[in-house]
Amino acid sequence: MRNGDVTNPSAMQAYSLASSMQAVAQFYAHPQRGAGIDLYWVRTPFSMPTVPYDYDDGEHVANLYRHTGTIEYVPTATSPSNLTVNGGSVWIWRDEKLRREDLVIYRTYFSLGGNTNARPQETSILIKHNRNDSELKDFVKVIYPSRTGKRLRNSVTGNSYCRMEPDGHAQALFNASPIIFQGAHVDVMNISEENYVQVGTHYPPSGFMDVIRYSIGHELFHVIGGRHQNPDPPGTGSLIQPFLPLDQITVSPSELLQINLKERISVIP
Q: Is residue 269 part of a domain?
A: no
Q: Tell whether 268 is covered by a domain.
A: no
Whether residue 1 is contained in a domain is answered as no
- Total domains present in the chain: 1
**DSSP E strands, 55-166:** 60-61, 66-73, 83-95, 142-143, 148-151, 161-163
Q: Do the strands 66-73 and 161-163 form a parallel or antiparallel pair, or are they unpaired?
A: parallel
**Residue 242 lies in domain:** 9-263
Query: pLDDT digit of tens for each residue in the chain (269 aa)?
Result: 455 678 888 888 889 999 999 999 999 999 989 999 999 999 998 888 999 999 998 888 999 999 888 887 776 666 666 778 888 888 888 888 899 999 999 988 988 776 777 777 677 888 999 999 999 999 999 999 888 888 887 654 445 556 555 456 888 888 888 888 899 999 888 888 877 777 777 888 988 999 999 999 999 999 998 877 655 554 456 776 667 888 888 888 888 888 999 999 999 88
**Sign (positive/negative) of CA torsion 124, 129, 132, 134?**
positive
Measure Cα distances from 81 to 9, 73, 95, 198, 255 in Å.
Answer: 19, 8, 23, 7, 36
Q: Say what the pLDDT of residue 230 is.
A: 57
Q: Is residue 2 part of a domain?
A: no
Asked whether residue 102 is assigned to any structural domain, the reply reads: yes
Three-class SS of residue 209? helix
Evaluate whether residue 107 is within a structural domain: yes
Residue 36 domain-assigned (yes or no) = yes
Q: Is residue 194 within a helix (H) or strand (E), and if so which, with residue range? A: strand 194-195
* Residue 134 is assigned to a structural domain of this protein: yes
Tell me, rounded to whole angstroms, the distance of Cα 155 from its chain centroid.
23
How far are the Cα atoms of 44, 125, 184, 185, 237 from residue 132, in angstroms, in the given order?
Answer: 8, 13, 14, 15, 34
Q: Tell me what pLDDT residue 70 has.
A: 81
Q: Which residues pair with 66 in a beta bridge?
A: 91
